[in-house]
Amino acid sequence: QEYTALKLKVLEWAPRAAELIQGKVPEDASVYLCPATLRPETMYGQVCCFVGPHLTYGVFKASEKEYFVITERAARNMAYQGIFEKEGVIEEAEKIQGSDLIGTLVHAPLSFHQQVRVLPMETVLATKGTGVVTSVPSDSPDDCALMDELARKIKHYNDKYGIKEEWLKLEIRPIIQTPTSDLLARHLVEKMKIQSPKDTQKLQEAKELAYKEGFYQGVMMVGDFKGEKVEVAKPKVREQLIKSGEAFTYAEPENKVVSRSG
């Protein structure tokens, strides 16, 4: 699986993360949260960045001036892909629990909303990508269902993680036109009566539909490739992000199936 890993620069740490980072990273270095995505063409619509509150992340040194917040598993993979300055070497400046990152303010490349917050996603898999996920509720049913849930239970999430209502209020703008909708994820969540992020089976189905329709029938409504088919625009947006230094390629080894007989 080949992902585009985006660099979301930390502008302001959540209080607990700030304490942990203090003195661990050089003053003049930048730290980035690096979500792995299969949909670089949707980056215009980012409204937040998700982490698994119960996952452990590391702040890994990519070069003298750049540190990445990702899972250790992702760092181990990246170390052998020419992403870190020193091949095969992993330097971890600090460990951080996902819950301690919530509320951190980051810069989201290409997005209408240049500054977005880190929010919790209980369903983030530690075994996929970087463990960091960028949220595009216009085109990702999972993100759409979770943003609804966070807003619906804002009191609970405020008590639990200090989430503020205004962090959830960023406008969700259409990015891609398909035959059924210009907000395909919202359309599918409503049509399939998806009630919460726990409707995993329906969400899986919605995701597959959204991938297919978005890729084969979608047309870009925004950005430099406005009017072009998604199929055509996707690699171009990706290339642009990589050229500008705002993203890099991250490949994931296939999950090995270990047979019982060994």
User: Interface with ligand ZZB by CB under 6 A: which residues?
Assistant: 36-39, 42, 124-125, 128-129, 131, 133-134, 136, 139-140, 207, 210-211
Closer residue to ligand ZZB (CB): 255 or 259: 255
Residue 56 CA to residue 96 CA, distance in Å, equals 6
Per-residue tokens: 249 = 């390629």
Contact present, 7 and 32 (Cβ < 8 Å):
yes
Q: How far is the CB of 242 from ligand ZZB (least distance, A)?
A: 16
Closest separation between CB of residue 194 and ligand ZZB, Å?
13
Between 92 and 252, whose beta carbon lies closer to ligand ZZB? 252
With residue 187 as reference, give the H or E element that holds it: helix 184-191
- Shortest CB 47 distance to ligand ZZB, Å: 11
Pairing of strands 30-33, 66-70: parallel
| 33 vs 124, beta carbon nearer ligand ZZB | 124
Nearer to ligand ZZB, 99 or 140 (CB): 140
Q: How far is the CB of 110 from ligand ZZB (least distance, A)?
A: 12
For ligand ZZB, which is the closer residue by CB, 103 or 137?
Answer: 137
Q: Measured from the CB of residue 58, what is the shortest distance to ligand ZZB in angstroms?
A: 15
Helix (H/G/I), strand (E/B), else coil: 216: helix
Taking the C-alpha atoms of residue 208 and residue 192, their distance in angstroms, rounded to an integer, is 13
Q: How far is the CB of 71 from ligand ZZB (least distance, A)?
A: 8
Cross-strand pairs, 30: 66
CA atoms within 13 A on the CB side of 106: 35
If you count them, how many residues does the chain have? 262
Nearer to ligand ZZB, 26 or 235 (CB): 235
Distances in whole angstroms, Cα of residue 247 to Cα of each of 103, 135, 151: 22, 16, 30
CA quadruple 186, 192, 194, 200: dihedral sign: negative
